[in-house]
């Protein structure tokens, strides 16, 4: 693995994502967690038949309307934001695996699903997290109680432990993870800012190839080792976000 993992452009970073890839996209805390530039690069590449694993399905082009309702048109126009739903809108996604695929009042994802162009698998938030963890840990599955007695258990192995029923959830490995971090060094070590950590660290461990976009790249040794959440061994490419102006 290359020691200097900094890549010059977002397009270069995603150039080898093939049709049919399983891609984890970190989000759920808005701009501080969402790898907006990498998402745009994947959209430009137009890889097809993708499976997207994400906790929030996204708003797509409706995000401008949503921000306007929250902030007012003037403030919304000063903010730029994009999420993984634009990949669905462009017809690049075959399947969406998410704990919150459909946003109320927003039809970006729901429209494609209702038209039969998108498969959607909805999982409880914790179940999605534990399936990613299982892939990262290299275990064959995890028994959970969430979903027992519901449609979630259909087709899954069930066991009884201490008088309680559990269902087996299998690992959810990723071909690629697109994540957002605050700072990185050239070796790929990452630190996050506040809630911006989210599921990024978990997805990085569950993926064969992790690509991170970051606000700043520093030299090795400049990051406090106590604050490094994602060690560089889990990160394969780092792309700095260009500074405005």
Q: Give residue-wise pLDDT tens across range 31-69.
A: 668 898 999 999 999 999 999 999 887 766 556 666 666
C-alpha 65/C-alpha 67 separation (Å) is 6
Class of domain 10-128+171-240 (CATH, top level): alpha beta
Work out the burial of residue 129: count CB atoms within 10 Å of its CB; fewer than 13 is exposed, 13-18 middle, 19 or more buried.
middle
3-state SS of the chain: helix, strand, coil percent to 5? 30, 25, 40
DSSP three-state, residue 167: strand
> Quick one: CA dihedral 164, 123, 23, 201, positive or negative?
negative
pTM of the predicted protein model: 0.89
Predicted confidence (pLDDT) per residue in 180-229, tens digit: 999 999 999 999 988 778 889 999 999 999 999 999 999 999 999 999 99
Q: Is the dihedral of CA 85, 91, 92, 95 positive or negative?
A: positive
Question: Rounded to whole angstroms, how far apart are CA atoms 29 and 65?
Answer: 18
């Amino acid at each position: 693995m290359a020691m200097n993992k900094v890549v010059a452009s977002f397009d270069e970073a995603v150039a080898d994502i093939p049709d049919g890839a399983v891609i984890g996209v970190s989000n759920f805390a808005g701009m501080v967690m969402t790898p907006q530039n990498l998402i745009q690069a994947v959209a430009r590449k137009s890889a097809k038949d993708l499976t997207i694993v994400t906790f929030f399905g996204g708003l797509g082009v409706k995000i401008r309307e949503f921000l306007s309702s929250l902030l007012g048109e003037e403030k919304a126009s000063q903010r730029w934001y994009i999420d993984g739903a634009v990949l669905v809108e462009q017809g690049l996604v075959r399947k969406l695996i998410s704990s919150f695929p459909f946003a109320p009042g927003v039809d970006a994802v729901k429209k494609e699903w209702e038209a039969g162009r998108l498969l959607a698998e909805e999982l409880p938030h914790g179940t999605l997290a534990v399936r990613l963890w299982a892939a990262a840990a290299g275990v064959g599955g995890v028994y959970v109680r969430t979903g027992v007695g519901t449609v979630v258990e259909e087709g899954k192995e069930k066991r009884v432990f201490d008088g309680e029923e559990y269902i087996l959830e299998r690992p959810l490995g990723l071909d690629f993870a697109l994540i957002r971090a605050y700072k990185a060094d050239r070796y790929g070590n990452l630190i996050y800012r506040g809630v911006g950590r989210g599921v990024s660290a978990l997805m990085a461990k569950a993926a064969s190839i992790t690509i991170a976009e970051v606000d700043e790249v520093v030299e090795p040794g400049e990051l406090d080792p106590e604050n490094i959440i994602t060690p560089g061994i889990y990160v394969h490419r780092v792309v700095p976000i260009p500074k405005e102006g």
